[in-house]
């Protein structure tokens, strides 16, 4: 997982991980996210997932834990720009809305087929 970061405006940090976030890279991702959430004066941390092509349950765990840490510190954590496969993982695991993604029945403007439990 490559990582990029930029400060968009005072009180806001944008993290831009790239590649894959899985068991091998989740520790680095968690350390970076935790550090951003603990910075003095930070009110919002945005994780831009546009360059992440894969994430697994360890990445989902890091993001959910980040929301919890953020709430304790009055910092909003949200994700933006996930690729369709990443968005699907967030939707299937039920954490998309927790992370600030719209609860939508479409991916990239296309209707999503509703199969068993609405997960298809």
pLDDT at 77: 97
| The token pair that represents 25 in the structure block | 């890279």
Q: What is the pLDDT of residue 8?
A: 60
Q: What is the reported pLDDT for 6?
A: 56
- 62-114 pLDDT, tens digit per residue, is 999 999 999 999 999 999 999 999 999 999 999 999 999 976 544 444 444 44
Please report the pLDDT score of residue 112 as a whole number: 44
**CA–CA separation, 34 and 65 (whole Å):** 9
Per-residue pLDDT tens digits for 1-58: 545 555 567 899 999 999 999 999 999 999 999 999 999 999 999 999 999 999 999 9
């Amino acid at each position: 997982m490559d990582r990029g970061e930029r400060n968009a405006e005072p009180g806001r940090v944008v993290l831009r991980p790239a590649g894959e976030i899985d068991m091998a890279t989740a520790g680095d991702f968690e350390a970076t996210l935790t550090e951003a959430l603990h910075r003095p004066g930070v009110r919002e941390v945005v994780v831009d997932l546009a360059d992440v092509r894969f994430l697994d349950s360890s990445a989902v765990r890091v993001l959910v834990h980040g929301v919890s840490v953020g709430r304790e510190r009055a910092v909003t954590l949200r994700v933006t720009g996930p690729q369709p496969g990443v968005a699907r993982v967030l939707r299937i695991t039920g954490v998309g809305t927790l992370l600030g993604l719209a609860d939508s029945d479409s991916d990239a403007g296309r209707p999503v087929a509703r199969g068993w439990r609405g997960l298809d």
